[in-house]
Structures are given as structure tokens and as C-alpha cells.
Amino acid sequence: MPKVTVRYWAAAKAAAGVGEEPYDAATLAEALDAVRERHPGELARVLQRCSFLIDGDPVGTRGHETVRLADGGTVEVLPPFAGG
């Protein structure tokens, strides 16, 4: 199982209470399920409005279950920012 770092920005960081944390996940869907389990409540709501970068590449409209994660990779959680 790949070990990845999930890095939170802006409102996601505030809701998580940390800037980043490690997870074991093979896909983006698995990583986000684990995040929701660890942080029920506000962060789960914030994630609904977020976009994601995997190792610097945008996920876009791809299904999260199809986005494979690499060992040592990074998932950036980017909520909408005021002004774009």
C-alpha cells in the first residue's frame, strides 16, 4: 500500500487542524475516505468543494477511484480561494 502525504491548504487546513498528515492509500478515493474517517464534520464538508493535485498534477474531473497514488507521493487539498 503506498504511503502518501495529504497536504491541506486554506479552509481545509483550518478544518483539519494540521497542515499535512500521512495516509496509506492506493487511490485518491481511498485517501479521501481515510481523511473523512479521521476528520468527520467540517473537513468532510470542505472536501466536497475542493480540487486536488497529485504530485503537482491536477485531478480535474477524473473519478477519484481511478487516480492512482505513488509511494511517497503528495495529495494537495485546495479549497476554493476568495478572488480565484
Per-residue pLDDT of the chain (84 residues; tens, 9 = 90+): 999 999 999 999 999 999 999 999 999 999 999 999 999 999 999 999 999 999 999 999 999 999 999 999 999 999 887 554
User: Dihedral of CA 43/12/20/68: which sign?
Assistant: positive
**What's phi and psi for 16, nearest 5 deg?**
-75, -30
Give the predicted TM-score (pTM) of the model: 0.92
Cβ(50)–Cβ(78) under 8 Å? yes
